[in-house]
Amino acid sequence: MVNHEPGHDRVHPMARQPFETDMGDRLTFDLSRPGRIGCILPKLDVPEAELPQDLLRADLTLPEMSQIDVVRYFTALSTLNYSIDTGFYPLGSCTMKYNPKVNDDIAALPGFSRVHPMQDDATTQGALEVLYRLQECLAALTGMDAVCLAPAAGAHGELSGILSVKAYLQDRGEKRHKILVPDSAHGTNPATAAMCGFSVASIRTAPDGNLDIDDLAAQLDDDVAALMITMPNTLGLFEPEICRVAEMVHAAGALMYGDGANMNAIIGRARFADLGFDVVHMNLHKTMSTPHGGGGPGAGPIGVRSHLAPYLPTPVVERDEAGAFRLAAPAKSIGKVGLFHGNFGVLVRAYAYIRAHGLEGLRSVSENSVLNANYIRERLKGVYKLPYDRSCLHEVVFSGSNQKAHGVRTLDIAKRLIDYGFHPPTVYFPLIVDEALMIEPTESEGLENLDAFCDAMLAIAREAEEDPEVVKTAPHYSPVRRLDEATAARKPILRWQPSAEHAPHAKESGGPSIPRGVS
Amino acid sequence: MEIPSDLKYTKEHEWLRMEGEQAVIGITDFAQDSLGDVVYVQLPEPGANIEQFAKFGEIESVKAVSDLFSPIGGDVVERNAALDRQPELVNSEPYSGGWLLRLTPADAAQIDQLMSAADYEALTASG
Amino acid sequence: MSHPYIPNTDEDRRQILDRLGLDSSDALFADIPEDCRDPRIDLPPQLSEQELVAELAGLAWKNIQPQRPLSFLGAGAYRHYTPSVVSHIINRGEFKTAYTPYQPEISQGTLQTAFEFQSMICELTGMDVANTSMYDGASSLAEACLMAASVTGRRRIALLSTAHVSFESVIKTYAAGKGYEVDVLEPDQVELGPDHACLAIQNPNFFGYFEDVEALSQSAKAAGALFIVSADPISLAMFRPPSDYGADIVVGEAQSLGIPPSFGGPYAGIFACRQDLVRKMPGRIVGRTADVDGRTAYVLTLQTREQHIRREHATSNICTSQQLLALAATVYMTTLGKHGLRRVAELCYHKAHYAAGRIAEIPGFSLPISGTFFHEFVVSGPLPTPELKASLLEKGIIAGYDVSDRFANGLLVCVTEMNSRAEVDRLVESMQEVVR
């Protein structure tokens, strides 16, 4: 168990690697020794065909390593990572909860992992049935009429959803060019709108953290195609006037787009369709707990009301009267959004996650995620400034402005948390909160872990007053310390180069070097 | 915060210096300080025509992008090519080595619409 | 009773509620409009772990998996042998259960392996820079076309008709957003105008054959359009990299690098380009730098291109990479190494040519395309392709992909190192029996 006592003399759990490690200088290319190989292949059992000499490449620079070297190299690198499996990961808006191991085993079953996407439907009935059942579950949980599982990530779901909205409006002969997005929105929302050819207008957040309804009313006109809104919003707050907002938007002839990134807060308790949304995307890697994999894969299915169903991406899974499943293209589909049918391996896990909970289990997910966030809110408020002082849902957003007065920035607090053995919260987002600290504990943490985290946050607040330097120079107990990001961007080195002088920074401090086991 | 008295300023934190018939423009010390470490500057090529107070380029720090607005309209004579390799000059020498463009002004009278050093200082002081 | 994934006990919940001064958690959900709160939702019942495995294994058994029967199906997803090392590394929780490396101090594992991936993709493609991967090869190609439009300021996209069947649809979906036109051109009728942003091709193409890349590259250059090449990474271990023939952007599907077919995903899209285009490139990029103590380390860089900073002015709305799959590809390439990867490509080449030669000898069968192919080729048989496929499936063989819309009775056959000579011989004998 992680020792959360403050102090400088303790050993950080991630400090197993010697601090003098030179792992960053030792890429596979550097470890390579001519003649080594990590895997041998079968002998050629057919006659050699003539090679087209003019099409062949002369040389290929890839590493040559024996198998043990490969295993040690990547295993050593893995230990430099912080992960859900190693500790509390309260990264706001990312829903970093426990990824059940059994789901990985299920996705790896040969009957799933070896199935080829271009096989005829008759030979893939089991895989199609999983997808069909998942569509049904997600439709039930969102109240939507149709679901498409093809989008590979949340932003991909947004693209699919907004393109569906665009196609629907075009079909009706409507020329609408603008999408409204609250000022608290994720960057993907305006980026998606722009990618779909819309201009973007921002709606203010009112002092209570809700949407400024007057600002919305002022900006709603016949040029608005949709309002994109995250529910609950990025402050972790549920918009109490959401039904009225939906009425206003629909009265203006626009559609309601729901960003389901924060669905963990309301799963089993409220459905997007009931709240007035026409389309919603879900982030299954968040709510349905599929492993984030260091940044991906994810899955971003979309659910729509019946009027948008004909426009969904291809394919969707249908069941015919005989009970057979097939991949189908919706009547007026916007087309394919990816090579095949979506991230099947992720979708299987999501289905398994839903089945491991049932409705009561999922309601317990939202209940405990919300209880945990509010417990942290209650324990930290006062010491950390709470810009929207009301009960929250699955995440709580503080401002580091009290600590800023001592010259300690939110970034410093985040880095100091690393010394205490925690992954930092999301910082500087949402943009409308000065020095934002966005904390999402999820339902995966028990009370004692929440207490340990709060103790660390409070200890850091004390340090900010009494010993700000220790916070401002954190982290002290991590595999590497703060990085020179400015040089990385000014003089980008984006690949290994075959020269001895490829390292950008000469080592200033000598120190004992670690013997290279393979030299 | 350094605000040379012989330059003209905009409320978008750019400065202008006349050198003979040509105008040299850049961003102020205040601007570079609030941007943080400048990592990239995108500027128009010589020959481009830009308008007063219109966007002519972008300046990037590690985690922010800001638009650049010209204090004066005219034709670009030269862009500061040194910034391609050393964008940090904008931070270290905002009024000298970190200049952005050299222009031939379309209308010298536009300079009258710019702020004096004293006015600009008042602007930055008021936040 | 508690759920195994939810540690809080009733006592924990009571303590939390006490601290909040509440009797019940219901109050925390009071902002949800009352008539929308706690609706009736029909979900199938909860299963224990044991029941869950049994239920899903039952569904998995309903699929016919390529192994038994034999498979010669490629068409965009390829069966290659994956060394055990790959799954053991990517299943380490430290890699698998981390997120995007926002905090580089505790994410060097993800960052350094991403840098390795970028480096290896640059070596394979011959390009200057690569990102940490896109959703898949098709979306990667579509994003490359959008990038070309952004770089050139032009609004027409040209795609060769010989590219993968999904590519046209995905590009058209992506292009619809900004209203770009998409022209699908036959390889021998490529004429580009001054409004074409790019010419996109697949090489080897969907049918397995190499295109006349020099001529196509020339056409693109002459029109001032970017030349975009989608390439199978295994083929690049053996054949000339697209940088050799003037590619500006190279994309591809990393699935062939140690990623299971898995009914179509998750895979990873390769994206590489020329150095001078890097600031228009979508996706995450990792760069090399140093920490305050001078230790070499890695960090997400050039982030001002991205949606979380530039919002509606970003190069794309993409947030993340398919990092775990990129890691699989990296471990795969490292394990096979310089010689192993080339060997895989050569085995595919020789076995595919053996198979093509033998099938062409069967009376009634022919190879309708002349030219050089890699590990996939089209055969035309004496009976309708669906019939041929169905008959061979009865004999336990997934014979390939139906391309009879392009070639009379056409079947696209793929042979990799996974297919032994005996398997190929069985395919040939079975074909003989079917048409006898």
pLDDT at A17 (0 to 100) = 46
**List of residues 6+ apart from A40 with CB closer than 8 A:** C340
Q: State whether C31 and A166 contact (CB < 8 Å).
A: no
- The tokens describing A70, both together, are 């490969």
Residue B54 in contact with partner chain C when CB distance is under 8 A: no
Q: Give first-to-last CA distance, chain C, whole Å.
A: 66
pLDDT at A18 (0 to 100) = 44
Residue A11 in contact with partner chain B when CB distance is under 8 A: no
Closest CA to C234 of C261, C260, C252, C209: C252
Q: What is the pLDDT of residues A348-370, one digit of tens each?
A: 999 999 999 999 999 999 999 99
- pTM over 0.80? The answer is yes
Provide, as residue numbers in chain B, all residues whose Cβ is less than 8 Å from the Cβ of A485. Answer: 37, 62
- DSSP-assigned beta bridge partners for residue A302: A148, A281
Average pLDDT, chain A: 92
CA of B77 to nearest chain A CA: how many angstroms apart?
Answer: 25
Provide, as residue numbers in chain B, all residues whose Cβ is less than 8 Å from the Cβ of C303. Answer: 62-63
Provide, as residue numbers in chain C, all residues whose Cβ is less than 8 Å from the Cβ of B61. Answer: 304
Q: How far apart are CA A516 and CA B12, in angstroms?
A: 54
**List of residues 6+ apart from A328 with CB closer than 8 A:** A314, A315, A316, A317, A318
Provide, as residue numbers in chain A, all residues whose Cβ is less than 8 Å from the Cβ of B59. Answer: none
H-only helix segments in C29-136:
49-61, 84-90, 93-96, 108-125
Average of per-residue pLDDT across B25-52: 94
Q: What is the pLDDT of residues A279-297, one digit of tens each?
A: 999 999 999 999 999 999 9
Q: State whether B63 and C304 contact (CB < 8 Å).
A: yes
Q: How far is CA A368 from CA A443, B12, C64, in A?
A: 5, 48, 41
For an interface test with B, the pick among C103, C150, C151, C303 (most B C-beta atoms closer than 10 Å) comes out as C303
pLDDT at A62 over 70: yes
Picking from A13-22, B5-14, C276-285, C330-339, which range would have the lowest pLDDT averaged per residue? A13-22
CA of A144 to nearest chain B CA: how many angstroms apart?
Answer: 38
Q: What is the 3-state secondary structure (H, E, C) of chain C?
A: CCCCCCCCCHHHHHHHHHHHCCCCHHHHHCCCCHHHCCCCCCCCCCCCHHHHHHHHHHHHHCCCCCCCCEECCCCCCCCCCCCHHHHHHHCCHHHHCCCCCCCHHHEHHHHHHHHHHHHHHHHHHCCCEECCCECCHHHHHHHHHHHHHHHHCCCEEEEECCCCHHHHHHHHHHHHHHCCEEEEECHHHCCCCCCEEEEEEECCCCCCECCCHHHHHHHHHHCCCEEEEECCHHHHCCECCHHHHCCCEEEEEHHHCCCCCHHHCCCCEEEEECHHHHHHCCCCCEEEEEECCCCEEEEECCHHHCHHHHHHHCCCCCCCCCHHHHHHHHHHHHHHHHHHHHHHHHHHHHHHHHHHHHHHHCCCCECCCCCCECCEEEEECCCCHHHHHHHHHHCCEECCEECCCCCCCEEEEECCCCCCHHHHHHHHHHHHHHHC
For an interface test with A, the pick among B32, B35, B39 (most A C-beta atoms closer than 10 Å) comes out as B39
Q: State whether C421 and A46 contact (CB < 8 Å).
A: yes
ipTM value, please give it: 0.97
For an interface test with B, the pick among A490, A491, A493 (most B C-beta atoms closer than 10 Å) comes out as A490
pLDDT at A518 (0 to 100) = 30
The size of the A-C interface in CB pairs under 8 A is 693
Q: Which residue of B has its CA nearest to A492?
A: B39
Q: Which residue of B has its CA nearest to C305?
A: B65
CA of C222 to nearest chain A CA: how many angstroms apart?
Answer: 23
Residue C349 in contact with partner chain A when CB distance is under 8 A: yes
CA of B116 to nearest chain A CA: how many angstroms apart?
Answer: 32
- Tell whether the torsion through CA atoms of B1, B3, B8 and B14 is positive or negative: negative
C274: number of Cβ within 10 Å: 16
pLDDT at B81 (0 to 100) = 95
CA of C231 to nearest chain A CA: how many angstroms apart?
Answer: 14
Q: State whether B40 and A490 contact (CB < 8 Å).
A: yes
pLDDT at C309 (0 to 100) = 83
Q: What is the pLDDT of residues A412-433, one digit of tens each?
A: 999 999 999 999 999 999 999 9
Q: How far apart are CA A139 and CA A142, in angstroms?
A: 5
Q: How confident is the model at residue B64 (pLDDT cuts 50, 70, 90)?
A: confident
- The tokens describing C254, both together, are 């990393």
Q: Estimate the crossing angle of helix A154-171 against helix A188-195, to 10 degrees.
A: 40
- DSSP-assigned beta bridge partners for residue C200: C159, C228
B/e letters for C116-130, b = 16+ CB within 10 Å, e = fewer, are: bbbbbbbbbbbbbbb
pLDDT at B126 (0 to 100) = 77
Q: What percent of chain A has pLDDT over 90?
A: 91
Residue ranges in chain C whose pLDDT is less than 70: 1, 66-68
Q: How confident is the model at residue A508 (pLDDT cuts 50, 70, 90)?
A: very low
- The tokens describing C33, both together, are 């409009």
Q: State whether C331 and A119 contact (CB < 8 Å).
A: no
Q: Which residue of A has its CA nearest to C143?
A: A195
Closest CA to A386 of A374, A373, A398, A370: A398
**List of residues 6+ apart from C280 with CB closer than 8 A:** C147, C150, C151, C305, C315
3-state percent breakdown (helix, strand, coil) of chain C, nearest 5? 45, 15, 40
Residue B66 in contact with partner chain C when CB distance is under 8 A: no
Q: What is the pLDDT of residues A442-487, one digit of tens each?
A: 999 999 999 999 999 999 999 999 999 999 999 999 999 999 999 9
Q: What is the pLDDT of residues A312-361, one digit of tens each?
A: 999 999 999 999 999 999 999 999 999 999 999 999 999 999 999 999 99
Which is it for strands B55-61 and B38-42: parallel, antiparallel or unpaired?
antiparallel
Q: How confident is the model at residue A15 (pLDDT cuts 50, 70, 90)?
A: very low
pLDDT at C320 (0 to 100) = 86
DSSP state letters, C115-126: HHHHHHHHHHH-
CA of A245 to nearest chain C CA: how many angstroms apart?
Answer: 12
Strand order through the sheet with A302-304: A146-148, A302-304, A279-282, A255-260, A224-230, A178-182, A199-203
Provide, as residue numbers in chain A, all residues whose Cβ is less than 8 Å from the Cβ of B86. Answer: 490
- The tokens describing A103, both together, are 């789901």
Region of C405 (left: φ > 0; alpha: ψ -120 to 50; beta: rest) is: alpha
The size of the A-B interface in CB pairs under 8 A is 17
- Give me the phi and psi of B57, to 5 degrees please: -175, -170
Q: What is the 3-state secondary structure (H, E, C) of C239-250?
A: ECCHHHHCCCEE
CA of A482 to nearest chain B CA: how many angstroms apart?
Answer: 14
Which is it for strands C226-230 and C196-202: parallel, antiparallel or unpaired?
parallel
Closest CA to C269 of C323, C192, C335, C336: C323
Q: What is the pLDDT of residues B76-104, one digit of tens each?
A: 999 999 999 999 999 999 999 999 999 99
pLDDT at A19 over 50: no
